[in-house]
Each structure stands twice: as C-alpha cells, then as structure tokens.
A and B are shown apart, each in its own frame.
Chain A
Amino acid sequence: MSTSPARKILWAYVVLYIVILYFPVVLLPIFSFNDSATPTFPLKGFTFKWYEGLIGNETMLKAARNSLIVGSVASVGSTILGICAARAITRYRFRGKSAASGLIMAPLFLPEIIIAISLLVVLLGIGANLSLTTVMLGHLLICLPYSVTVLVSGFEGFDPSLEEAAQDLGAKPLRVLRLVTLPILAPAILSSLLVAFTISLDEFILAFFLSGSEPTLPVYIWGQLRFAAKLPNVLALGSLLIAASLILLTTAEIMRRRAERRLAGR
C-alpha cells in the first residue's frame, strides 16, 4: 500500500469523521451498563439496573407503545397514499400534476416547527382534541414526501404493459394489483414502509406539539431529561432503541434485497 502524504491525510480524515459521527452513539450503550448515576469516565462497574428500571416503568412502556402505533399507522398510511400518488405521477398526464407533486414534497423543505405550529393552530381552530390521531396525521404529512420519492422510482422502473398484460389475460383490476403490481413493487413498498416508520419513530417536534396527553417515546425521553437522576434510564432506553433500529433496518434490507433478487431472477 502506498503511504503518500495525501493518502495519510485522507485516512486521518476518514478516521476523524467516523469517530465524530459514531463515538457519541457508542457512548450511549457503554454508559447504560455503567454502575453510576452520571455518565462520566472512569466507568464504575457493570450493571443491568438501569434496564431493570425500565421494565416496571408504565409511562415509558405506554410511550413506546404510542410510538409503535403512530409509526405503524403513519408508515402504512403514507405508503398507501404514496402508491396512489406515485402511480398518478408516473403514469398519467393531468392538469396540475407538477403543482400536486410540488405540494406533496413541500413538507420536506418547510421548517418542521412551522408545520407543527400551523397544524396546531388549524387543529385547535377546528376544535379537534390533541391525541395520537393528530400526531399520526402530522407524521403522515412529513412521511409522505419520502414515501412518494421511493415509490416514484419504483414505478419508473415498472413497465405499464405488465399491468395491461395481466388484464389481457383475464385479470380484474384488483387481481392485477394483487398479483402483478404489488409483488413487482414489493422492494419499493418495503423501503417506503421502513423509511416512513423510522422517520415517525424518532420525530420529536410534531409529536411534541400535537400529542396532547399521550406522549410518544421521543417526547417522553425529552421529558425525562429534566431529571438528572433519570438520565441512566434514558441511556438504557436509547440503547434499546438503537438495537431495535439496527435489527429492523437489517431485516428490512435483507428482505428488500431478497425481493429484488427474485425480480432480477438471480
């Protein structure tokens, strides 16, 4: 291997980049097993007690359950709406098409806090009670651009005559959807579900404004940070979330690749 100065500098840059990006994340699980109420070095000893403390924590469990519900509804919802929108955008020419796709993408560029406040004003204005439902609606709004982006690229690689062929062979529209459209779009649909779920799961600002008395996990964690004594519990919870995300991402990616391989016939 060459060890020219340029190469050394590049290596140093890469190492520094990775350390800055991931070191704090690695600290989280380390301190979560540390037998000390404050996250400081040197480490005091190994313990499971912060995790044990989570088990009986009803409020935390409820927040986690809320997050899962919101994430599931938002990801499924934005994927279904995304399929409709992506199909319309890629297959049809219609008046106001670019305006429609622009509006779908808008939440991506608007500051989230502005969206949150506007939604709050509107919801309160129409007399809606803040609940998980309002959080779901908010999350649907911000997940949709991601779902549409992923699904549009899925539809772009999708030959429209495949659907026509299925219809030609006697399949009614619903059968075409079930046996041809959805299986072929499976990788894109899976990606959309995953992206939307992850976004919803760690979304804080909208959830904070719209959740009322039913906090999601990020809102709960934020609340706990006010109490220094709860910090190790939060670290344990954070570590669990990281583990869960890793497992989720890996499984979904494996499934997606398997579906893609199947389509490519390899």
Chain B
Amino acid sequence: MPTTCPSPEFLSDLLEGRLPAEEGARLRTHLADCAACRAVLEQASDDPELREMAARDHRPSPYWREAALARLIEQSAGTSLGSEPMAPAGGLASLGLGPPRVEGDLGTLGGYRILREFGRGGLGVVFEGYDQALGRPVAIKVLRSDRLEGDHRRQLAREARHAARFRHDHVVVVHAVEETADGVPFIVMESIPGPSMADRLRELGRLAPAEAAELIAQAADGLAAAHDSGLIHRDIKPANLLFDPVHRRIRIVDFGLAHAADAPGSLPEGTLVGTPNYMSPEQARGQRQLDAQADQYALGATLYELLTGEPPFHGTPARVIHQVLEVEPRPPRQLNEAIPRDLETICLKAMAKDPRRRYPNVAAMGADLRRWLAGEPIVARPVGPMGRLARWSRRNRRVAALTASTFLLLAALAVGSLFAAARIDRERRSAIAERIRADANAEQAHAAARIAAERARVASEQRTLALETVSTLIKEVQDQLGRSAGTLTLRGRLADAAISRLEKIARDPADDSDVALARVMARERMGELSFLAGRTSTAREHFRAGSDQAAALAGSAGGEIAVEAGRLAAACDDRLGDLALYSADLNEAGSRYRHALERREALPEVWRESPEGRRGRAVSQNKLGDLALRLGRFEEARASYRRGLALTETDRDPDAQRHRFDLRFVHSRLGDLALAGCDFDEAEREYRQALGYAEAQLAAQPDDIRARREVPVCHSRLGALALRRADPKRALESYQKYLDGSEALAAANPSSAEARRDLLVAVSLVADSRLAARDYPAADRDYRRCLDIARALSRDDPGSLQKHMDIDEILTKLADLESRRERFDQAVSWLEQSRTNLRETADAGLIAPDRRASLDTAIGDRLFLCREARRALGDPAWIATQPPEAAKGLWAIRALSLARRGDLRAAAEAAETLRRLAPDDVESLIVAARAYALCLDASSRPASPASPASPAEAAAAPRPRPETYLAPALDALRAALRRRPGLFRGDVLDPDLNPLFAYPEFRRLLTAPAPTPPG
C-alpha cells in the first residue's frame, strides 16, 4: 500500500543524486507500489526536447546505403590495370569468351559469368565476373594470348599458381588459375571493389601524410610476408594497391605476374615490364634477377606519389629510365611543405639508388612507418627532442586523418539506428504508459518536471565542459601512457599537460553531484598520472584529496553517483596504501587497504557481485595479503590471498586474459607466502601453477607484451625459491630464463623504459645468483652491466626517485662484492659514486633534507669502514681504540674477511668480539653468524695449499671440526631472531649462510613461528 507520497522536490533531489543512499532505499518500496510517484519520476527524468528529437523515425535515409554500396561497386572499376595506358586490343573474341548465358552479360569463361570489363593493360584484360558454382563475385584477369607465346604462357600460369598458394591479409586472394578451351590462361581473383591508390590519387590529387603512411605500412606488411615465402612482386605501383572497403585495408594485387612475364625469352629482349615510374634502378638496368629490394624501391616511389601527388620522375619512358638511373628525385617536401620531414626521410631511404642503402628489407621499412605513425622516433635518421615531442603530440590526430572520405562513408553507415528497432516496442507500450500517467496527479508531475528540467539546464554547460574534458583527455593520455614506447620524460610532460587541464575541473566550485563526481575523477586520474610518472608526493596529495572528496560524495549523494564515488574512493585508497607501503609506512598502508575493501564491500549488491565488483574485492584482498606478508603475518596473508583467489576463481571475468593474469598473480603470491614460511615444496607447487597460467596466456596471445613478460617473471620466482633453498645453480638457471625473456622483450621494444627496467632487474638477479655461487668475476661483470642500464634509465627520466635509487642499489651491491673480494679500494670508489648519486638526487629535490642527512651519514660510515679495512685486518689492537660504532663495523669486516681467507681462529675471535660488543644489534649478530658459517664451510673442505690463509698456522694446529662453528652461529642467529621476530622469513638470506642449510637445526630456526612481539 502506498504510504505518503514524497514531495516533487524530494523526487528531483533523488534524481540529482542529492539524497543519501538510505533515502533511495526507503523510497524503493514505495515506488514499487505507487504509480503516481513513478509517473512523476518518469517525467522529471525525461527531457521533452530530446524526446521530440527521438520521436521520429530515425532509420538512415534509404538512399544512403544504396548509394554507398553503388559507389563501392563503381570504384571497383579501377581494379589493377585501370591506370595503364590502353593498349590496342583485339576483340573480346580473341580472349576466348563464350557466349553470354544471362542477358546483359558480356559472355562466359569456364564456369564464370563475365559481367563487364574493368580495364585492360599490358598483359591482359580484367573483367568483373561471377562464380556460378560458388555464387560469389570474382575478378577475372584474362592474359592476352597475342602477347604471350606457348611456353611463356604456361610459365606465367605456373607463376600465378605459385602466387595463389600465398595468403595474406594484405594480398588479394587468387582463387584459381585456369585456361579456356583455346588454352588462354585466366586468373580468378577475389573481387575487391575498392578504389586503387591510383584512383585515389586521381580523385584527391594527393593523400594526407598519415593516411599515405598507414596505407604503405600495410602494403609493406603484405610484401614482407610475400618476400618471406620467396615471392617478388616486381610491379608495385599505386594501381596495384587496392583499398578493400570491407576489411578497410590495403590489398596488393597481381603478385608474380610481372615476374613470369619478364622471365627470359618470354617477351622480346629489351621489353620492359612494369611502369618505369616505379621501377628500381637495378630493374631499369635490365637486371633479371631482382630481389625484394626492388619491391622496396617501388613501394618507396609509390609512397612518394601518394605524398606529393606526382611520380618521382616525369617524361617519356626513356627519359624516366635515365632519371631513375642517374638523377636523385626531388625531395617530397620541395613539392609539398606539409609533408613531415621524417616521412620524407623514410620515403627517400626506401628509394635509395644503391639497394644496400635502402632498409634491410620491406619489413624494416614498414616498421619505421609504423614508428612514425605512432609518433615515435624513426630509425632512418636520428631526430632531435623537439621533433619527437611534436610527433608524439600528433599521435591522436592520426586516426582523424585516416578517416578521410572513404572511411567516413563507411563509418557513417556503421552508426547504427538505435531507434528504428525500439520504435515498435515503444508504440506497443505507449498505451500502458498513458494509463499510468492518467492515474497520476498531473499537476504534481508537471511541477516536478519543470524543477528538474530547469536545474538540468543551469548546470549542463559547465558540467559538459568538465566531463567532456575528463572523458576525452583521460582516454587520450591513458592510451598514450599505456603504450610501452616512448621515454619517461615525454610521459612526464604528457602527464603535466593532462594534469594542468584536469586541475581546472578539480577546482570547479559548482555545487552539483555530477560535477563533484567529475572533480573526484579528475583527482584520481591526476594521482594515477603522477603515480605512473613516478612523482610519489604529488600522487599522494591527489589521492588524499580524491579519497576524501569521494568519501564525502558517496555519503551525501544517492544512487549511481554514490556508487561511482565509492569505487573512486576505494581506488584512491588502494593507491594511498601502495604509496604508504613503498615508504614503509605499514600502518597507514593497512588502514588504507582496509578502507578500500570496506568501501567495496559496502557497494550495492548489483555492483558488489558484478565481475568488476568481485575483481575490485579480489584486488583489495590481495593487497591486504601483500601487506600481511610484509608484516610476517603469514596466516593472515594466506587467508587474504585465499579469499582473493576464491573471488577470482569463481568469477567469470569476460576478459579471459585479465582473468588468467589475476590467477597467475594470486598463485605467485601464495608461492611467495609458502616461500616465506619456508614451505619450499608448497612454494614450488604454487609457482609452477602460476607458470602454467602464464604459459597458457602466452599461448593464447603470443604477441601480447604483457603475456610475454609473465612467463619470465614466473621463472624469476622459481629462481628466488632456489636461492632461498641455497641452491645457486638452479637459481642461476631460472634467473637465466628470466633474463632471456627480458632481453628478448627489451630488444623488441628498445624504447620501452619498462622493458629496460625489467632487464635491469633480471641482470641483477642473475648477478645475485652468481655472487651466491661465488663466481665473483661474472657477478662483477653483470653488476656493471646493471649500472649502465640503470644510468641510462635515469638519464631518460631524471625526475624519478626510483631510477636514482636503482643506481644506488647497484652501486651498493658492487661495493659489497668488492668487499667480499677484499678489493677495498674499488669498493671505496663505488661508494663514492653512490654518495655523488645521492647528492645529485637530493639536489634535484627528490629526497627530503632530513632523509638526505641520514643517507649521507650511512654512506659516510660505509666509506670509513672500507678505507680502514686493511688496517683492521692487520691490526686488531687499533680497532679497540676506535669508538664503539666504528669498532663494530671493523670487527665485522675482520671476521668475514679472515673467515674467507681461511684464517678460522682469528675470524672466530673477531666474530666473538663482535657478539660481545654488540649483543643487541641484529645486523652485527647476523654478520657474526655469517662468519661462523664461512668458518664451518672452510673447515668442512680439505685445506687447499693455494689458500691465502696463513699456511704456518694451518700446519701448526689441526683445524677444528666443522661443528665447532655450528653452535655459535645458531646462537647468534637465535639472538638476532629474539630481537626481531620473523627476521628470516621472506627475505633471501646472505649466501654466506648457505652452508648452514645442511643442518636441520638451522632449518627449524628459519621456520620457527614468529612469536608475538613483546609489548
């Protein structure tokens, strides 16, 4: 039973999203019963003007479709030979045509109806035909018998058959090669109604540069594939490139025909096949053995003509041939300044007189065109940074330029008629609607409608401006950021440009929930852009503001706006959590992640249980799992991951790729978890499962960059597992697979910063496993390579803190490596570089002053230790005179170095002193344990005569038994563990500790459950 009806104002508030969600929910029951209120809402949520626009029949004009199709058929007249000079031809009879079977036809040929003539050229006549057996239109090329004699005709047919076996998206399909009863060969091809490029040139004069580049790039794809299967075209020219309007792509026609026709003896000596305008110099010289480079020249000449509207050379055939051989073509930009310089470069490179100076193959030419189209630097010639930026910003225009008239016509056709179908339905229902309206209080309804309409009008303009900017701009920017190519500096600039426009929206003061939503969206996008560009503090500000505003909006608005606001708030909180996690603020991270999850759980069920909603909750669970893992709370982490996995597994995400990715992710994480809990077998199982998903993904999408990255990443986890199991050999194997994958990706995407960073990580992990295997020279070589990569990355993106920290990490590793080899001078030089790097980073404003000071001190301490290491090794008494902090470090160096040298007694003494001196310092305790472990290792192998340890001592006293060192090592580790529970979980241990893995006591120590910390 209807309760009291709400006021019209209340209802219009509902529509404007100004009501809290509970109000909407309360109203729901009322609305279900009250036809009057529904009628009010129906009218208030309507727009009479739009209704009027929609009220008419909106089927596209009947002329339109017919006309567009008719034009396409007409354009088909240009197939292949249309632009050839008309050769004096014999009558149709000379072609062996049979009498027509259908009135209006020209005749028949085998099982084909010949409908009309398309055109004729040097080799034959092309007809529009119809395959009666298969009921499809075809193009039929009849080779003119008067121009070809017996053997050559057969050779030509052979060649055409060869071409017929080749299939490619950008090549016109040859259906069959047949002969008439009189032995006249004819070729049956796919009928491509589209205009040839020669037709387009006639129609437009010349093409827009981007369109020309796109079309030639497509042709290059087709040619490259043909070249790979040994086919050479030999007669590439605008007339042989057809635009296929159905698939909207370029199709090359007449493959191999010129080749066969030009075979020795097939035509009188000296007869040139092919239009001289597109003929390569080698072809013009009469060279018979042409290779693919001749096609590249012809494609370059075609590009030249598409760009400039003129062939590269003019005049009589003889004159053209002379010029082809002797004269450089006029640079296209002299003919048309609007042609971009790089496109000119590409065109002229392909047309180089010396085939060796062209691109190595047509595929390379195509790739360079695509680079240009993507706004990336081309390889044909280096370009300056300004040029690069200009091209980058031109990117999004490319699509627009491509939609030149032909494309446009079809695009217009494709815009469907939503209304035509709905109209009948609407008419059927209007009777019902009328009845409901009659029930309603008419006056009330009108009042509400007026209020709503008025409010809508006032706000609409500003809102449109805002939302329009947000939706188009964000899409643009994301598209561009999403592509892997391009340097990070450019990304940064792009992000800045986008942010400055988004700022305007974020500051829009309008008091309207839709605008408020746009504001929040803008904040979230700005945060994301800053985050992606590596600007963490700016990102944090944006996300904070976004989260607060979104939360407020979710509380005050109703309906859908509240839902979107809730989702945005969760997205902001996720990122705030990530940022907190990066800066090791684990409490903040936890609270943000939990917030995000709560917000997602609180969404109405429709959204919560939708694939998107479930995925969002899975993301939340996984992030909470990550955090718990980081905190050493393994059970909690496992529970979160399992919940995430359950959401992911049962979710039928329509995006299969993303679904596999999510599954891969969770299994990887469960593997990490098992690894941290030292359940190595379980870890192996999870990692293998993850690898399975990654491999399935790769099989499904072998060319997808992300898919190609996943498999190596899984190998890297298996490498980590092996390293943790103290099995450097297997670690190296797995990491090597990771490295191979990363190398391949980086080579395929030389301009991708992500790919290069991935490579950096891979090389450094390989180096780590070499270090663990004590292959120091190899580790040294790999770390130096890392340093080169890291420096190059930082040069490309000087504003990124992460890149600077990468350099620092590698420098630290190098210093550590050199310390292990007792090459302390070298270590000092690495540390000095590290300090310089730190100062530069701080000067660039990337490190806060207080943090700078503490980092600087830390490096200073390490420098001191390396400088004084020799003295510490020679003079233990001197160490005693040093202040306690310095003494600790010096004893540590002494303990480790002497243990490595095999001077076990002195090493053990130093370790003992260290433990005594710093009984509460976790780092020192671990160093002591490492020293004991090294001693244990040394004492368990036969003494080597080449050992640099003091041979006198080795001879004088029998070496202690290995177990002598086990107890103190375990003691030191236990002490460290008491002070920092969970210390050994998760992290890879220093390889010095590897010898301890042979002892079950040690393994038990690692897996001991983390006791709750005191207090």
Asked if A pairs with B, the answer is no
Q: Which residues of A contact B (CB under 8 A)?
A: none
Q: Which residues of B contact A (CB under 8 A)?
A: none
